[in-house]
Structure 1
Amino acid sequence: MTTTTGSGLAAFAALLADETRAAFCLALLDGRAWTAGELARHAKVAPSTASEHLGKLVAGGLLREERQGRHRYVRLADAGIAHLVEELAARTAAPDRPRTLRAASAGSAMARGRTCYDHLAGRLGIAVTDAMTVRGLLTQEAGFALTREGVRWYRELGLDLASGGKRPLVRSCLDWTERRPHLAGVAGAVLCAHALEAEWCVRIGSERAVRVTPAGEEALSELLGVEKASLR
């Protein structure tokens, strides 16, 4: 059994104790791979500064590096790291009010609906989670768990719950805008992937925000009883 020392934990925590590195990790919660240049522009730092910070995050195990030809990409190391970053974000103080209309619009879109690594979050994620609970597909009594009806519901939708390998089938993830748990784990990931593939949701802007389409409103209303007004 491996024992974590105080110095080891402090060193790991220090990786996020920098505004630029924290901004990188938050951006990578969209589940996609980014180049160093893209992250540098996002955080408004020089490419050399971005490379230095990315090296520390990769070495510390928060990110993993992928190469495709001459291009270097980075992404969050795994779903566990994404879960950690989202939960830490949810436990921070409320952000300052945006200073521009563009920033306010982007923040509103993120709060309305977004992806959290590979599952749905924001008011959309909470609405889906609550609806699944009301329908008896998900129980929250002793942590999140799918019911028999929930497993059957996934099967009838043609969604493979055995595709997640060693990942937890279901787990809660504390939503950083709603301050309530939404559905994560394999069940959350395959549902999010299906929502995007079926175009129930579409990505908007350069952030993680998603918008529910009219087809998505109909599907979520019919399948889960989600009120259409709550998705807008």
Structure 2
Amino acid sequence: MRCLLILFLTLWAPMVPAQTNEVDLELLLLVDVSRSMSPRELEIQRRGYAEALSDPEVIDAILNGLTGRIALSYVEWAGADSIRPVVDWTIIDSAADARAFAGAIDATFRNSMRRTSISGALGYGINTLNENDIDGLRRVIDISGDGPNNHGGDVRIARDRAVAAGIVVNGLPLMTRDGIGTRWHLENLDDYYRACVIGGPGAFVLPVLSWVEFAPAIKRKLILEIAGDTPRLWQAQAILPDAYDCLIGEKIWRRNRVYELP
């Protein structure tokens, strides 16, 4: 009898699925908290992400994927040396997981930080995606910001490193003008993101023109990223990399560095 039991277990064991960290998507949410953002904007932004991640349509998109699970991390960034993880990599495979992640975001509120280093944030994103123990079928960095890069190196180099590593970079330019002075404002921030920040197959930009639009925009963006659909309307097509001055943020900061705001 014992021999038969051992034989059965030997034959049955290969049929048991191995426990892995395979997910449909590794999605890193890089959220701008530079000093150009007002406390009100920071609060709207944090709650907007929490609201979107709790939305039934977003949860359905997560659960209806190939594996029915994704991995998320939520990180705040400003200058190259001012990057702080708020919620580390977490596998989401249920509505309860999604709501718990949203609750962890909404429970955290910290002050803004100095400067704006999109390049530093992308560099951090590449490292954390390469170093986590998760095996994603796709890897996406979702970066929001209300101004161009002005610290930490050329944003194009960081973007190209991400794309070379198989990471798609999508952009959420915040063009509300609520908390930023005119001297720091970049009128065509969406064009800057298209030309200088986003990259990879199907990469897209979704501008936010008012804070009323923020939560719906986050929801729409998350569904597109989780479902893996190609959002043709917002894809970067019109602007060639050499047709836009991707160092405009550094030039604006040098011109106004006496204020040293963003």
TM-score when scaled to structure 2? 0.26
Q: Which of these two proteins has the greater Rg computed from alpha carbons?
A: 2
Higher RCO (CA < 8 A, seq sep 6+): 2
TM-score when scaled to structure 1? 0.29
